[in-house]
Amino acid sequence: MDDNYKHPVDDKKVKFRPNNINSSKSENTKWIIAITISSFFLSAVMQFVSAGILEDVGNLIAICVVLVIIFIGILFDIIGIAVTAADEVPFHAMASRKLYGAKQAIKLIRNANKVSSVCNDVVGDICGVISGTASATIVLRVTVDSSLLEATIVGLAVSGFVAALTVGGKAIGKTYAMKSSNYIVYKVSVIMQFLTGRFGSSDRKKKNSNHENGKKKGNNKNCKKEKK
């Protein structure tokens, strides 16, 4: 060992404070159980859908489906890494100026552990499993009338290509996510704000209409009192 570095006195262990997580142990336990169960059903559904699509299409479209699945896994991996590496401070300044999507970005960063679990572990890993299964299905279809040696060579080539594309894409994506984490989180939060605004528009309209009706009733009562 290099003597230029300092060591703990009397072989004492260096202690670090644990990072603060915005949830209790019970909430974390519930989240782990929920994400485990949901990943099981999501994997089964995605496997069923992909198998149904690959069964009724040609080889070229099947290859495109596999590439799309790989791209989805890489995309969600980028989002999970970006949310984990993003800085919350700039979004507070944006929220104070009421910029679109800033509050959603703060929510994402404060729940980075859950977001990364969904993006990296659930969606990313499920896409990896399904892309491998789908590529195996394509190999079986292509090598139906081939010899065992040819089928083995094609299988190794396709599986190697899928693995290389997945690993290489995620490596490039992680580098980009670390460099542009705040930008990625902001873009994702803008999309989330847009979607929540679209789907929650009916509820907001009802609230606004009820609020306006309440104002009208109050004005009518005041008018009646003034007339009396």
Give how far Cα 228 sits from Cα of 63, 183, 223, 224, Å.
79, 61, 9, 6
Helix (H) or strand (E) holding 49: helix 25-55
pLDDT at 78 over 90: yes
Total Cβ atoms within 10 A of residue 77: 26
pLDDT the model gives residue 57: 80
Give residue-wise pLDDT tens across range 128-182: 888 888 888 888 888 888 888 888 898 899 889 999 999 999 999 999 999 999 9
Give how far Cα 52 sits from Cα of 49, 71, 78, 196, Å.
5, 20, 28, 31
pLDDT at 218 over 60: no
Comparing CA positions, the residue from 85, 88, 109 lying closest to residue 179 is: 85
Residue 166 and residue 73 in contact, taking contact as beta carbons nearer than 8 Å:
yes
pLDDT at 27 over 80: no
Comparing CA positions, the residue from 104, 92, 84, 111 lying closest to residue 21 is: 111
pLDDT at 195 over 70: yes
Calculate Rg over the CA atoms of the chain: 26
